[in-house]
């Protein structure tokens, strides 16, 4: 998932350097600046939750392992041939490029949606850290089906963690970024060690033993849906939809010397979204053999998914520390990014106070375990909402002139609100969200159709809208 641990070489991104101009050639970076960033960025707190959630969905060994291999390849290809290509062409931030197409006021709407969703993601990571902090206090862990806080101890721990994270994010992002880069290798090592120890605890001595842990899969746990091969493929492809097909990582790759640097995203996909997810799934497989988990299942309930106890069971205190660090290094910069999005809406407010506002929203969200326990669903919704905006950028770049419309039209026509963009997004979102709900279709399955529909409608609406404006204002 998205941690935004930005390498020291390109930490200007968070600070907004070259915010409203192309990155000059003197500031371009090579592949080494991106390789470590992506490897650390995607081995984060979310991975401790996502791995176990695959098991709750009853996934089989083939569906999980081969599905992740394929889905992550598709994600890497999206970064390489869409995001990186457009990023090195214009070398603009996502927000400035959107402003040139959509207009400043419409980008404000996007910033609001982006900021709120970032807060919810950060909140789920506060939840993850709380499951580790609560171990010494013998805190009751949230159940997979819990939506509300389960006790006073939980509330106090979440509020304390949220307050600390918010204050640190508001006062010193540069320090947070550097520390996060230092601890990222520790988190990656923790995932690897957790996986190895879990294999020993599961008495695995061969690849066949490993394969048989999941075997042909099982029925999903109560309240969960059954994941098939295509669920795994499509979900893992679009787990970061907002970043690649949604074009958020234009702000990152605008510093790349060439588009081929987009291949470095593979480090994140196969360290984090393959190794770390499988390692976390193995932690949960060990727990499922415990008397506590068996009692849950015997009662027709879903066993809890609490990263802190899972990691502690495998590697002791190191596991607690790793989970706290993973949650912290994900939530902290995510809150900072949410603050930047809010600041674009209220530019006169100080960075400190908008970040505190974002942290407060994230902390309130962290009180409710549903954001973490339903992370598969939330990530699908996150990508579904934001990725169609990326289609506007892609179609504007590749097809605008071919279809007779002006690229960067809001900038050329001095528009603050491009209704062609709003109409394309709202109609495509409404149609496919209705289809998903009406026919009970997994939301990730309609993300690609929504993306394509949004891009096509943008071209159609723009032909009418631009012609109309030109005729009124020749």
pLDDT at 16 over 60: no
User: Does residue 271 fall inside a structural domain?
Assistant: yes
Least Cα distance to 20 among 84, 104, 135, 86 occurs for: 104
pLDDT of residue 388: 94
Each residue's pLDDT tens digit, 209-236: 999 999 998 889 887 889 999 999 999 9
Mean pLDDT estimate for the chain: 86
How far lies 7's CA from each of 37, 112, 145, 341, 346, in Å?
A: 5, 26, 37, 21, 28
Q: Is 161 in contact with 130 (CB distance < 8 Å)?
A: yes
Each residue's pLDDT tens digit, 286-327: 999 988 888 888 888 888 888 888 898 889 989 888 888 888
pLDDT of residue 364: 95
Q: Is 29 helix (H, G, I), strand (E, B) or coil?
A: strand
Residue 195 is part of which domain span? Answer: 8-376
Q: What is the CATH number of the domain that holds 372?
A: 1.10.4160.10
User: Does residue 465 fall inside a structural domain?
Assistant: no
pLDDT at 391 over 80: yes
Rounded Cα gap, residues 405 and 420, in angstroms: 12
Q: How many domains does the chain have?
A: 1
User: Does residue 329 fall inside a structural domain?
Assistant: yes
- Please, what is the Cα angle at 141 between 275 and 374, to 5 degrees? 55
Residue 156: which H helix or E strand, with range? Answer: helix 152-171
Rounded Cα gap, residues 115 and 343, in angstroms: 10
User: Does residue 395 fall inside a structural domain?
Assistant: no
Lowest-pLDDT range of 8-12, 30-34, 90-94, 178-182: 8-12
Lowest-pLDDT range of 54-63, 174-183, 370-379: 174-183
Burial class (CB in 10 A: 0-12, 13-18, 19+), 49: buried
- The residue with greater pLDDT, 472 or 189, is 189
Burial class (CB in 10 A: 0-12, 13-18, 19+), 40: buried
pLDDT of residue 348: 79
pLDDT of residue 6: 39
User: Does residue 474 fall inside a structural domain?
Assistant: no
Query: Across-strand partners of 339?
Result: none
Lowest-pLDDT range of 158-162, 163-167, 441-445: 163-167
User: Does residue 272 fall inside a structural domain?
Assistant: yes
Rounded Cα gap, residues 66 and 428, in angstroms: 31
pLDDT above 90 coverage of the chain, percent: 44
pLDDT of residue 178: 65
pLDDT of residue 4: 38
pLDDT of residue 136: 87
User: Does residue 248 fall inside a structural domain?
Assistant: yes
The DSSP secondary structure of 130-155, one letter per residue, reads HHHHTGGGTPPPPPTT--S---HHHH
Burial class (CB in 10 A: 0-12, 13-18, 19+), 353: middle
User: Does residue 463 fall inside a structural domain?
Assistant: no
pTM of the entire structure?
A: 0.87
pLDDT at 431 over 80: yes
């Amino acid at each position: 998932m998205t941690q935004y641990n930005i390498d020291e070489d390109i930490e200007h991104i968070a600070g907004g350097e070259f915010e409203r101009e192309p990155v000059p050639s003197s500031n371009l970076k090579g592949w080494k600046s991106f390789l470590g960033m992506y490897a650390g960025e995607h081995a984060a707190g979310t991975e401790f939750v996502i791995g176990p959630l695959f098991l709750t969905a009853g996934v089989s060994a083939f569906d999980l392992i081969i599905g992740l291999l394929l889905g992550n390849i598709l994600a890497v290809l999206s970064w390489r041939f869409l995001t990186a290509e457009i990023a090195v062409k214009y070398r603009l931030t996502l927000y400035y490029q959107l402003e040139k197409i959509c207009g400043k006021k419409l980008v404000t709407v996007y910033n609001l949606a982006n900021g709120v969703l970032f807060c919810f993601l950060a909140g789920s990571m506060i939840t993850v850290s709380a499951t580790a902090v609560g171990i010494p206090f013998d805190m009751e862990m949230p159940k997979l089906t819990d939506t509300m806080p389960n006790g006073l101890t939980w509330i106090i721990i979440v509020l304390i963690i949220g307050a600390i994270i918010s204050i640190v994010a508001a006062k010193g992002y540069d320090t947070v970024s550097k520390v996060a880069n230092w601890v990222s290798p520790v988190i990656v090592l923790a995932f690897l060690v957790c996986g190895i120890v879990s294999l020993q605890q599961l008495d695995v001595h061969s690849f066949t033993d490993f394969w048989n842990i999941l075997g042909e899969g099982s029925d999903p746990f109560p309240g969960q849906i059954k994941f098939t091969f295509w669920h795994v493929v499509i979900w893992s492809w679009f787990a970061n939809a907002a970043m690649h097909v949604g074009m958020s990582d234009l702000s990152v790759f605008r510093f790349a010397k060439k588009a081929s640097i987009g291949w470095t995203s593979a480090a994140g996909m196969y360290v984090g979204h393959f190794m770390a997810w499988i390692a976390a799934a193995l932690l949960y497989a060990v727990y499922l053999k415990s008397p506590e988990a068996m009692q849950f299942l015997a009662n027709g309930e879903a066993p809890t998914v609490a990263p802190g106890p899972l990691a502690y069971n495998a590697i002791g205190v190191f596991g607690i520390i790793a989970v706290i660090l993973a949650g912290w290094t994900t939530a902290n910069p995510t809150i900072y990014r949410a603050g930047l999005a809010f600041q674009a809406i209220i530019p006169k407010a100080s960075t400190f106070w908008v970040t505190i506002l974002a942290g407060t929203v994230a902390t309130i969200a962290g009180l409710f375990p549903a954001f973490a326990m339903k992370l598969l669903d939330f990530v699908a919704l996150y990508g579904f909402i934001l990725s169609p905006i990326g289609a506007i950028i892609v179609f504007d770049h590749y097809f605008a002139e071919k279809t007779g419309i002006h690229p960067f039209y809001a900038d050329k026509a001095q528009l603050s609100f491009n209704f062609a963009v709003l109409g394309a997004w709202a109609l495509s979102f409404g149609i496919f969200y209705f289809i998903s709900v009406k026919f009970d279709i997994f939301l990730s399955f309609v993300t690609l159709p929504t993306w394509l529909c949004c891009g096509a409608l943008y071209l159609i609406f723009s032909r009418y809208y631009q012609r109309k404006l030109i005729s009124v204002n020749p």
